[in-house]
Chains A and B, each alone.
Chain A
Amino acid sequence: MVREVPPALRLAAWVFTLAAAVFLLAPLVVVMGVSVSENQFIAFPPEGFTLRWYKAVLGDARYLSAAWVSLRLALIVTVLALVVGGAAAIALHRRTLPGSEVLATLFLSPLILPTIIFAIGMLMFWSAVFGPVGFATLVLGHLLVCLPYVVRTTLAVLAESDPFLEEAARTMGAGRLQRLWRVVLPQCRPGLAAGAFFAFNISFDEAVLSLFLRRPGLTTLPVQIYGQMEFSPDPSVAAVSSIMIFITVALLVVIDRVLGIRRFSTG
């Protein structure tokens, strides 16, 4: 049933959408503007146009090593989150485990728990049991924070799939592994794609956990930006932030091409 929307309501909807877009996009515009400013200090509107801050960032060993740590970390975390989260979602969906409801809630708990409390707990636990923190600590911490997203998105697509597909595959001669590979995983694909996108971005962007779990010589990009902002704020911070925005957008395009995130977002 299509009903005529009153003009006033339609106008309100437009204003609301526009306001949301402005609030979301304006900070990005400011950051990108500052990153090409000739001004020595962070100031908006930008003065002139220069790429020297980009040059400074790309020539700065601290930024480069932090970026390398962040990139490796995000990639490893994404792969692990897909494997662990995907398997967890399939198991939860089938309700083969006793207490599936409890487990489902448990998998969501990192979303609810304040990250700072989790970070302190993780630091204390790790130091007491395994000694000094390191890259593995970061991987584990990020993985726990990213898992709920993969589990949720994968469960969502599984909930919409035909429950008889696997039985049908059995009657067509497909064994356990063939069913997983040729029937179940293809069903999960849009959910895994969306989950991968969330996992990469959250890990790449995560500052609180990384701040607590870092050690000298092991700093992630967000932590490096935060430090720079505190001690010598100049437009190089804006330049590196802009680079992060480009990487995120590029990643979105790649994941969409490879796994088809669009299918997930449009149902």
Chain B
Amino acid sequence: MADLVLHDIRKSFGRTEVLHGVSTRIEAGSFVSLLGPSGCGKTTLLRIVAGLESVSAGRVEIAGEDVTARPPEARDIAMMFQSYALLPHLSVAGNVAFPLQMRRIGRPEERPGMVRAALDTVQLGALADRFPRQLSGGQQQRVALARALVSRPRVLLLDEPLSNLDARLREDMQVELIAIHERLKLTTVFVTHDQEEALSLSDRVILINDGKVEQEGTPKQIYDTPRTRFAADFLGASNVLAVTVRDDGHAELADGQALALAAPAPPGPAELAIRQEDVAILDDDDADGLAAEVAARVFLGARSRYVLRLAGQEVRALGPDRPGLRPGATVRLRLPPDRLRLLARP
């Protein structure tokens, strides 16, 4: 069953439409990322789900009920803000108890136990009596998470919750978020602009670009088979090559070199995507590959990144470090047909 259904959501600020009809279904217990560059409308979409922003057109359903006209306080949600938004005049326990008091969840004498359980979930049980200003950024973030979890909302909304943490804390928190989600199975919508974060945390990724759903699927689907140039670019690590598909089913580069495709494609101009790690640099004497020139080699430790020029276009490859490949050297490349993705024409 779907816990959250968005039906053709449109939103305009003044004359500018920022969401152009977004529809999706989010299944109960799943962890879904709204991924996209800043300004793509993902945060506006989250605020619409929360009820903090009205819709210009469309329908929001939570647990099968149309809640489009309801204010946030009448929706079964909880939201964690990017700035955490802890109430500075309340202690940690007071902050976590706040949603229970406001939503009248549990009897008053049961609430301290619920607060303690939520704080234990984020490993902050010892700091219940502190005030927000006495806590580090990471601790404040855990309080905000506990406060969002404590009411066991039907839909948990997280607005870039990890963006204010340093890299190490962010990794710890990602692991913890996965563990908490495994345990509580709360339907979660997570907004992020970090593709790695979206791929590693979620069951499903909804890629948003310019107010529209660009592509939706499991992290693996999104990563392995980007359908558009934007998806290929935004998920990083992909090369996009402009080619012309010939009648014989091969794709031709600007300099006349041809590469084989795994499946037949309609003739004409097209774009192919291939991930950096799938571009193979062959040994010098193998004459079977595509001729390319090395532009730069970047040593990354475990492997090296090669920036290559293939028929006037830039191609990046990841592979074992080969000190012989200096800028200017000519190499042969293999682009495996089963790794090439034909992108949708814009």
State the A residues within 8 Å of B (CB): 161-162, 164-165, 167-175, 178, 182-183, 186-187, 189
Binds A, one of B22-30, B73-81, B109-117: B73-81
Contact call A173/B89, Cβ cutoff below 8 A: no
Distance of A187 Cα from B72 Cα, bound (Å)? 21
Q: A172-B102, A173-B102 are in contact. Are A162 and B73 (CB under 8 A)?
A: no
B89 close to A170 (CB less than 8 A)? no
- CB of A165 within 8 A of CB of B85, answer yes
Contact check, B73 vs A183: say whether CB atoms are below 8 A apart. no
Min C-beta distance of A184 to chain B, whole Å: 11
Are B103's CB and A171's CB within 8 A? no
Q: Tell me the complex Cα distance, A183–B157, Å.
A: 21
Nearest 10 pairs of A and B residues by beta carbon: A168-B85, A173-B102, A173-B103, A172-B99, A171-B79, A170-B72, A186-B89, A164-B85, A174-B102, A171-B72
Q: Do the beta carbons of B99 and A173 come within 8 Å of each other?
A: yes
Q: With an 8 A cutoff between CB atoms, is B230 at the interface?
A: no
Whole-angstrom CA separation of A51 from B87 in the bound complex: 52
Q: Are A165 and B52 in contact (CB under 8 A)?
A: no
Give CA–CA (A171, B156) in the complex, Å. Answer: 10
CB distance from B157 to the nearest CB of A (A): 8
Shortest CB distance A267–B (Å): 12
Nearest CB of chain B from residue A189's CB, rounded to whole Å: 7
Closest to B159 in A: A164
Is A170's CB under 8 angstroms from B83's CB? no
| Chain A residues with CB under 8 A of B103 | 172-173
Known: A174-B73, A175-B73. A167 touches B85 (CB 8 A): yes
Whether a CB of chain A sits under 8 angstroms from the CB of B39 is no
Closest B-chain residue to A174, C-beta based? Answer: B102
Determine the chain B residues whose CB is within 8 A of the CB of A162 once the complex forms.
83, 85, 88
In angstroms, Cα B148 to Cα A168, docked, is 10
The residues in B between 32 and 59 inclusive whose CB is less than 8 angstroms from any CB of A are: 50-52
CB distance from B92 to the nearest CB of A (A): 15
Q: Decide if B71 touches A171 in the complex (CB within 8 Å).
A: no
Q: Are B72 and A164 in contact (CB under 8 A)?
A: no
Given contacts A175-B73, A178-B102, contact A170 B52 (CB under 8 A): yes
Tell me if B52 and A172 are in contact (CB < 8 A): no
Residues of chain B within 8 A of A186, CB atoms compared: 87, 89
Which chain B residue shows the least CB distance to A190? B89
Determine the distance from Cα of A175 to Cα of B255 in the docked complex, in whole angstroms: 67
The answer for the CA separation of A178 and B74 in the assembled complex, in Å, is 14
Q: How far is it, in angstroms, between the C-alpha of A18 and the C-alpha of B226 when the chains are bound?
A: 73
Which of A167, A171, A172, A187 lies in contact with B89, CB distance below 8 A?
A: A187
Can you list 28 residue pairs at the A/B interface with Cβ under 8 Å? Answer: A161-B88, A164-B83, A167-B72, A168-B79, A168-B87, A169-B87, A169-B98, A170-B51, A170-B71, A170-B73, A171-B52, A171-B72, A171-B73, A171-B79, A171-B157, A172-B78, A172-B103, A173-B73, A173-B99, A173-B102, A173-B151, A174-B98, A175-B102, A178-B102, A183-B87, A186-B87, A186-B89, A189-B89
Nearest to B50 among chain A residues (CB) is A171
Question: In this complex, which of A169, A171, A183 has the most chain B Cβ atoms within 10 angstroms of its Cβ?
Answer: A171
Q: Evaluate whether A165 and B72 lie within 8 angstroms (CB atoms) in the complex, with A171-B77, A171-B79 already known.
A: no
Q: Is B250 an interface residue (CB 8 A)?
A: no
